Every structure is written in C-alpha cells, then in structure tokens.
Structure 1
C-alpha cells in the first residue's frame, strides 16, 4: 500500500471523525487531572530503577480506571492492557518513569521534595499524559478494534530500561509501538512526528594512555601521558571535520580527562571518557574504527601506548515511513497541519530505539516550551519546566494515534 492510499484511509473513513472529536473533547476534559498528576510526580521524583512510589501511584490510577496490568521483575515497570471490542492488531504506548540526579532550583509550589533528585527531563509529563490517554481510551474502549498496551518503563536515563523490559517479554505480541517526548526547545503547540531520524545514538567510550613517569625537570627521561592525551583530544576533532560526510551530523565529545599526581611529575598515565552521537547506523559503525586508528597512532608518535574501550549503548531513533503518515494525520486532527514540524533532529538520545529494533514504530517530539510560562530552560537543567498545555496535546496524540493505527488496513 502506498502512502497516499494510507493517508486517504485515515482521513476519509466517516466514523473516524466522530472518534476524532471525542478524543479531542476527552483530552480537554481530563486536562486538570493530568496537571494534578504531573505535579504529584514532579514533587516526588525517583531515580532510575528506584521508581517504587511512582509505580505504586500509577497502579493506583490504573486500578481506579479498571485497567488490568502486570509488573516487571523489579516491581517498578508496568504493562497495562486495554482490550477493544474485537480482536485485531496490538499497539503499545510507552512512557518513562525515572528522574535525574539534579537539585531543583525553581520556585514552583510543587518543586521536588526529594533533594538531589528532579524530573528535569519531562518524564513527569510523560506519565501524566499516558495516564490521561488511558482514561480517553478506556472511555472509547467499545470503539477500539484491537488492543492497546501501556508500557511504563523504568531506567530510561541510564539507557538500559527498554532492553530490560524486552528481556522480560513486554513486547511479546506487540505489532507496533508509539512514544512521545516533550521538548522545551520546541514551542508548545508544535509536533515533530515525520519519517526518518528523530534522536541520535549515544555511545560511550574510555581511552587509556600509558606513558612513563619521571621528574618534571627532566621530561626527556619519561613519556608524558598527559601531553599524549591532550593531543588525542585535539586529533579526534578531525574525525568529525575530515573523516565523516559533512552532511551527516556527528558529535564526538571528551567529557573527562584525568591525569597526573603532582605538579613536578611527568604523568605516567591518563584516562579519558566521552560520548559519540550520530543518526546514521552505517556512520555509527565507522566511528570506533576511525577513533582507534587516531588514538593508537597519536600515542605512537609520542612513544606512548593507548587503548580504546567502546560501548555501543543506545541506537538512533528512526521513525517508520508508513507509520509516520498515520502519526502526522493524527497530529493534524488534534491540532492542525500548521502544527507539524519537519526534519526536527535532536542529538540527545532515547532508549526507545531498543523497541524499534524489535517492532516497527514511531516517536513524536511534542513542544513544551513557552517563554511566558518560563518553560525556556533546556532538559537536565535545574530550572527545567514545561508548559502544561503539552499534557492535553500528548494525551490526545497517544489516543488518536493508537485508534488510527488499529483502524488502518494493510499494516
């Protein structure tokens, strides 16, 4: 089936217009509910794989709605199920749970009560939105031709949560998956949901340099690991500027460099850590190969040795082209065509990519920025917040996309 035929199915089936209006109206009906929930989660943040009170609160809300669920191995992950009026496809909607090791510096009435922990990435909004979507889908349950699964995932900030849930069978029987991330860099009322790369890979590496220590007054008697490491840092910058197609966004960042013991001793070793990011899986494979060559040859030039340890941690998030057609149509229904953004890429990462390696799906970026509401700070900042209007938009998008996907033929 081509994309034009798929789009016409989505737009012109008569009964969809009725559900479309219901979903918009219901999302507005539950807006205050979602705001209250988001503020509760914001006030009580919990770190990765420690989201016990958070999970308990979500289970309480699901119990009130009469939605059955099961827990994951560590009792924080949740897989809830909404069965439609007949058998059909099964779609999963996913939210993350965890907060960050950040001390909040806002004046919000509902600021974090857990010192040193903060929802500085919007996961509080994700949970509230998905619970709002659960209410909407429960209300229209008799019109859903299939099954909707709700995944509440721990440990996203560590990049390991999705993999753990896949190992526990959370994707068993799932035909497709959908996720949302609210973004403060995008104005509230805008959505990016088109095909192709949305978020970058995030791989981690460690570089060890071995030299030979000596007195700082007689450096010729040793091999300076610190000078060698400094040259490696500088030479690695040519990887992006001279070895990768300039049309391919790539970042290689050295975040730490530890070397030396005293001001008058030539360092005998050095250790660096960093991250590499890109949107192209073929480019991703080449990065450690190029790094290894640069690192080893730079060290050799100084008479030292160097080793690279490289971890392929999180893959890029790349939206399926057919499913993006459904997603854009759903976004038009709940907002407008003018709300759609094209080719919005972020070099931050998301372990949602682990699900996409197993089943087809798409990931939406929902605007949450608003200067008038001081929602202007970047993610992971101690003053981060969102325009809470994004909750209603996110919940409606979850529900509308799920309904449209389950009604689409030939997928």
Structure 2
C-alpha cells in the first residue's frame, strides 16, 4: 500500500475538513463542535470510539495481524486570538482562532484513520487515535494520560505542522524537543506609608523589583551555561496611587528547561532568592511554583520508526535538523509513561504568503503539508505495531 498516494487521493476532503474546523475554532475544554465533527467522521469510517475528558475522543482500529497497541495523538483546541487572514475559511468565532495548526492535526489524524481502516488486513496490532482537548492551556494531556484507555499503549506518536520548516521537509530527532513549561507566582507583602515618608514603610514595590533583578542571576550565574534554562517574569502588579507606598505586589512568570535536574534546581532557587531578597527589604514573600508540563523527550527507537516512515515516502533528504525549542508541549505527559516520538511537519511557503509564526493573527499553512503529514501518520500506523 502506497501511503502517499492514498493521502493524495484524499486531498480534497482533507482540506475541506481542515477548513471547516478552522472556521469554527474552540478554546480548551469547549471543543464541543470539534468533538461532534470527529465523532461524525469516525461514524462514517466505521471506527468505534469513546468520548473522554469532556470533549476528547479515543477511537480504536483493530488490525488483522498480531502486534502491539500504538497511539497517535492530535490536539484540538484553538487560541484566544482575533484572526486577520483574508481567506474563505477565516474564523467565524470572534476572538478565537486556530493559530497553531490544531485544525490541521485533527484533519490529518481523521484522514489517516480513514485510510488505515481500509487496510486493516495489513496492520499489525491495534491503533488508538487520540483526539485531545486543551493543549494550549497545558491541561488536556495531563487529564488523558492516566486514562484506562491509555494503559495498553506501547508506543505513542504526535505531530505538529511547523512554519519554521519549509513545506515538504520534516524533523524527527531523538532527545529533548520541547522544554518543560512551568509557572511561578510570587506575592510580596510590606507596609504602606505616605509616599513622602518612605522611612515609615516596607516598600513592596522596591522589594519586588529587586526580586525580579535577582531572579535573572539564576540563568546567568547558577545554571551551567551549557544547560539551557529560561526564567521570565511576565507580570507585575502593585500599588494604587502615586503618593502611596504599596504594601503588596504580585509577580508571575514562567520557567523553562530541558533537564529534570535543572528544572528541580530552578524551582528551588526561585523560592530561595525571592524569600531572601524580600527579607532584606523588610518584606515578606509567598511563593508558588506550578509544574505545567515536563520536557518533551523523544525515545530513540520510536524516533527511528518516524524517521523510517518519512524516508520511505520522501527520501532522507527531506529530513532536516530543527533545534529544540523552549516552547512547551503537553504531549510530554504521555511520554512520562509511554515511549514515543514527536514529529515536525514543514508547512512554510513564503511565496504563497504562508510564513507567519505560530500564535500569530495571520498564521496559516501551505495545505500540501496536510497531505504530507497524513501520509507519514499512515506509514507509522502501518509499521509501528510490528516493532518491539
């Protein structure tokens, strides 16, 4: 069976499906219409499925040949962005947009499921098609990865259209691909006073500003320069009047790293610095660190399955190097329990004006990427169940 030709034969319906989902984007945990579209397609294909975690769906295809259970996941949710593209499939939901390609992921996985179902006689083991909500708010995978339906999966695969790569190219590399993504929250409490009498205060703003500066030394002086890490303070809120010294300031930020050891260290060091600096200014500090998602780390054997799938369809010249990113991806939660790999599918076409970055109001892709990505997902489905 030629996976690429099969995908090409579905191109029109694949694009139509993607554009329908694009027109009707939904935020995390609100993907009701998207779930309905998925279920309607699965009913038409004839695949059994279960609705899970509110708006999620897991379908299962039983192959006719012996083998293991694999999973292929697509995320479903959109972003709170007002789309500014001028196209026939522009978002019809004001203030919400598929600006990260999740519409593409759903359409590709549904089309791959349709193709693979037609060829179940040559499939080893079983394939679970996992449609996951709430990736953008880093909650969906955490809810789904402990489900009983995930327990028998031996390998899991995910994919993302990627506008940093030219259409027709792919990246599949072992090791870290996305960083862990965590949030932290700091509340500094001091003593108010008249702005003209600072000696009577414990100034929460001065203390908080010093904390912000001191936190930058974590990456510049505490973490090994060869170990990537990011500590960013994204919000600062405090004070009520120009002539009143604030008694409370709230800070929030994000921390990113690829190493579990560095992640643990950064969490500890933010707390230590915040507490010590606050005390030095006569203030108090409350600190909360929320672990949102681990680093996405591709398993070597699973990555080879993906690379072999790409090479068999497009040749090894289409596999290109893509540096890991400090962005976060909650697919990492599945990889905590199941070996797997994450594929990047090139979708950029500058001549066609498809080059805006992810999460941009003009994000769009070259839709040839849909055919390419579907073909690779089909090839993975045909081969991965034989492994191990």
Instruction: Please confirm whether the aligned pair reaches a TM-score higher than 0.5, indicating the same fold.
Output: yes
Instruction: Tell me: CA distance 1:104–1:343, structure 2 relative to 1, closer, same or farther (3 Å).
Output: closer
- Counterpart position of 2:41: 61
Q: Are 1:117 and 2:103 an aligned pair? A: no
Match among 360, 363, 366 for residue 384 of structure 1: 363
User: Which residue of structure 1 aligns with residue 381 of structure 2?
Assistant: 402
For residues 192-222 of structure 1, the C-alpha deviation after alignment (integer angstroms, 9 at most, x for no partner) is 1111001111101101101111011111110
What whole-Å deviation, never above 9, does each CA across 1:325-373 have from its counterpart, x for those lacking one?
A: 1211111112221111235211111111111111111111111111122
| C-alpha contact 1:334 1:393 (8 A) present in aligned 2 | no
Task: Tell me the residue number matched to 1:16.
Answer: none
Within 5 Å, which residues of 2 pair with 1:262-301? 262-301=241-280
1:371 aligns with: 350
After superposition, give the CA deviation of every residue in 1:75-125 in whole Å (9 maximum; x if it has no partner): x21111111112320101100111111111111111000001111111000
- 1:280: how far off? 1.0
Structure 2 Cα separation of the partners of residues 288 and 165 of structure 1: 26
Secondary structure at 1:351's aligned position in 2?
coil
- Partner of 1:147: helix, strand, or coil? strand
Moved more, 53-62 or 298-307: 298-307
* Alignment: residue pair count: 388
Asked if structure 1 preserves the Cα contact closer than 8 Å seen for 2:53 and 2:143, the reply is no
Secondary structure at the aligned position of 1:247 is classed as coil
Is 1:39 the equivalent of 2:6?
no
The answer (yes or no) to whether the contact 1:209–1:304 under 8 Å persists in 2 is yes
Is 1:26 equivalent to 2:18 in the alignment?
A: no
1:73 touches 1:168 (CA, 8 Å); kept in 2? no
Deviation, 1:23, is 0.6
Tell me whether 1:166 sits opposite 2:145 in the alignment.
yes
Whether the aligned pair in 2 keeps the contact of 1:79 and 1:149 (CA below 8 Å) is: yes
Residue 72 (structure 1) aligned to one of 38, 52, 65: 52
Aligned to 1:4: none
1:379 Cα offset (Å): 1.3
Contact kept? 1:198, 1:346, Cα under 8 Å: yes
| Shift, 1:305, TM fit | 1.5
**Residue equivalent to 1:92:** 71
The answer to whether the 8 Å contact 2:74/2:130 transfers is yes
Partner SS, residue 113 of structure 1: coil
Following TM superposition, by how much is the alpha carbon of 1:73 offset from its aligned partner in structure 2, in angstroms? 4.2
User: Which stretches in structure 1 are left out of the alignment for 5+ residues?
Assistant: 1-18
2:123 maps to 1:155: no
What is the Cα deviation at residue 170 of structure 1?
2.9
**Are 1:258 and 2:226 matched, yes or no?**
no
Distance across 2 between alignment mates of 1:372 and 1:330 = 28
Q: Where do residues 354-369 of structure 1 align in structure 2 (5 Å cutoff)?
A: 354-369=333-348
Return the alpha-carbon distance in structure 1 between the equivalents of residues 72 and 233 of structure 2.
35
Q: Give the TM-score, by structure 1 length.
A: 0.92
Aligned-partner Cα distance in 2 for 1:356–1:117: 29
* Equivalent residue number for residue 199 of structure 2: 220
In the TM superposition, what are the counterparts of 1:302-341 in structure 2 within 5 Å? Answer: 302-341=281-320
SS of the residue corresponding to residue 161 of structure 2 reads strand
> The residue matched to 2:342 in structure 1 has which SS?
strand
- The two structures, once aligned, show a CA RMSD in angstroms of 1.2
